């Protein structure tokens, strides 16, 4: 099915009626365009449909201007403070938040829905499903929390995967650990400590290159096409001053928190968005500078990651190296 902007706009305007995404008859109100955009399965129940729609529309709304994002999320009932039983009440709440009257808020909602639909339809083209058939699974959501301000940097990874084939029993994962520039050495097996918190059994690890580890995770249950599964891993490794995701399978969402520490501030933190992997190691490779908050943390997120490219951040310490 080809999804048109007009179809999606019409379905989003239906969705905003009544209680919005909290409406009891949500499954019956969701049209084919919204089903495709939010990747709803035919067997998804009301709870799963509500979760997927809420997560997808909230994520996509991040691309809207602040005022449009505020009013659209309120109109759809995706703001906790605006979960009211009637649409007109949410319109009034949104109007007060942007300091405008209700009529203006309604126009902003229509404008925001149109932009949201345009963006959503655009995301379907690059992440074409025929290309995904070459993969046995893909990542629906990857969330990583990395603490650099420790004797050995440590990362927690929470990943939700979706099977794109039947009888899936194992996931092939990978992690790159770049050896410090001064050593010019290959990464070693003992350089990486991996622990599975839930979601499977680590049955194999091998060196795929001088700095990339291949990991085999045996699943606790067989997955069939469309099944979802969540895993949680912890990594410890001495790393060069960067952290990137270079997916070998398609990835819908990558959310990264990096704690650099408030006692030792980096000179600069640079965003890497669909970059070549070598750019993470290259000190002169260009990128967009991003701010570090008062806690010494940065937070970035990416959608529709293309396999083989790097997404994440790199930073420059005053001494040019990570001690």
Q: Over the stretch 267-317, which tens digit does the pLDDT of each residue have?
A: 788 888 888 767 777 666 667 888 889 888 999 999 988 887 888 988 877
pLDDT for 238 = 77
- The CATH class that applies to domain 130-316 reads mainly beta
Helix residue ranges, H only, 38-101: 46-61, 66-75, 87-97
Mean pLDDT of 239-268: 85
Under the banding of pLDDT at 50, 70 and 90, the label for residue 183 is very low
Measure the CA–CA gap between 46 and 51, rounded to whole angstroms. Answer: 9
Q: Extract the tokens encoding 305.
A: 């990651």
- Cα dihedral across residues 137, 60, 234, 227: positive or negative: negative
pLDDT for 322 = 39
Measure the CA–CA gap between 110 and 316, rounded to whole angstroms. Answer: 43
The reply to whether the predicted model has a pTM over 0.75 is: no
Task: Give the residue among 66, 223, 244, 11 at the shortest CA–CA distance from 142.
Answer: 244
Range with lowest mean pLDDT among 146-160, 204-218, 247-261:
204-218
pLDDT 10s digits, 31-77: 888 888 888 887 788 899 999 999 989 988 988 888 999 999 999 99
Cα distances from 239 to residues 149, 176, 206, in angstroms, run 12, 9, 18
Mean pLDDT of 225-233: 93
Q: Are strands 251-259 and 137-147 parallel, antiparallel or unpaired?
A: parallel
Mean residue pLDDT of the chain comes to 83
- Work out the end-to-end distance of the chain between its first and last CA atoms, rounded to an integer number of angstroms: 53
What residue ranges do the domains of the chain occupy?
5-124, 130-316
Contact status, residue 289 vs residue 270, Cβ threshold 8 Å: yes
Range with lowest mean pLDDT among 131-135, 182-186, 230-234, 272-276:
182-186
pLDDT for 102 = 94
Q: Which residue has the higher pLDDT, 174 or 96?
A: 96
DSSP tag of 28: H
Which 3 state secondary structure label does DSSP give 43?
Answer: coil
Mean pLDDT of 205-222: 77
The pLDDT of residue 319 is above 60: no
């Amino acid at each position: 099915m080809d999804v048109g902007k007009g179809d999606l706009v019409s379905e989003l305007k239906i969705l905003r009626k009544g209680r919005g995404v909290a409406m009891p008859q949500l499954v019956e109100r969701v049209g084919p365009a919204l089903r495709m955009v939010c990747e709803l399965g035919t067997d998804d129940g009301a709870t799963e449909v509500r979760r997927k729609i809420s997560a997808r529309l909230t994520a996509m709304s991040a691309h809207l201007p602040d005022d449009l994002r505020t009013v659209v999320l309120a109109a759809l009932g995706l703001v906790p403070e605006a979960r009211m039983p009637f649409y007109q009440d949410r319109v009034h709440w949104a109007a007060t938040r942007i300091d405008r009257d209700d009529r203006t808020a309604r126009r902003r909602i229509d404008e925001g829905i149109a932009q949201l639909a345009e963006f959503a339809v655009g995301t379907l083209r690059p992440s074409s499903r025929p290309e995904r058939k070459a993969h046995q699974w893909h990542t629906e959501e990857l969330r990583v929390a990395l603490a650099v301000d420790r004797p050995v940097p440590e990362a927690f990874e929470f990943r939700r995967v979706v099977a794109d084939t039947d009888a899936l029993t194992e996931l092939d994962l990978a992690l790159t650990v770049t050896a410090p520039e001064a050593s010019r050495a290959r990464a070693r097996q003992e350089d990486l400590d991996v622990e599975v918190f839930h979601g499977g059994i680590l049955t194999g690890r091998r060196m795929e290159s001088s700095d990339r580890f291949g990991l085999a995770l045996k699943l606790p249950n067989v997955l069939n096409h469309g099944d979802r599964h969540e895993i949680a891993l912890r990594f410890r490794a001495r790393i060069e001053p960067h952290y990137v995701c270079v997916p070998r399978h398609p990835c819908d969402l990558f959310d990264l928190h990096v704690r650099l520490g408030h006692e030792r501030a980096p000179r600069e933190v640079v965003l890497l968005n669909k970059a070549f992997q070598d750019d993470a190691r290259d000190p002169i490779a260009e990128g967009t500078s991003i701010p570090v908050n008062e806690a010494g943390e940065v937070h970035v997120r990416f959608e529709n990651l293309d396999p083989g490219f790097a997404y994440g951040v790199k930073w420059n310490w005053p001494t040019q190296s990570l001690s």
